[in-house]
Amino acid sequence: MQKIEHIGIAVKDIEKGNAIYAKLLGKGPYKMEEVTSENVLTSFFKVGENKIELLAATSEDSAIHKFLEKNREGIHHIAFAVDDIHAEMERLRQEGFRLLNEEPKRGADNKLICFVHPKTTNGVLVELCQDI
CA dihedral 110, 10, 85, 120 (to 10 degrees): -170
* Residues contacting residue 69 through CB under 8 Å, at least 6 positions apart: none
CA dihedral 10, 124, 6, 4 (to 10 degrees): 170
- CB of 11 or CB of 26, closer to ligand CMX: 11
Q: Determine if 3 is a binding residue for ligand CMX (CB under 6 A).
A: no
* Closest distance to ligand CMX from the beta carbon of 67 (Å): 5
Out of 22, 97, 100, 120, the residue judged to bind ligand CMX by CB under 6 A: 100
CA–CA separation, 61 and 78 (whole Å):
21
Q: Determine if 45 is a binding residue for ligand CMX (CB under 6 A).
A: no
Q: How many residues does the chain have?
A: 132
Helices (H), the chain: 14-25, 63-70, 85-94
Q: Between residue 58 and residue 77, which ones bind ligand CMX under the rule CB under 6 A? A: 63-64, 66-67, 70, 76-77
Q: Determine if 123 is a binding residue for ligand CMX (CB under 6 A).
A: yes
Q: Segment contacting ligand CMX (CB under 6 A): 16-24, 36-44, 80-88, 89-97?
A: 36-44
> Which residues contact ligand CMX by CB under 6 A?
8, 35, 38, 40, 42, 55, 63-64, 66-67, 70, 76-77, 100, 107-108, 115, 117-118, 123-125
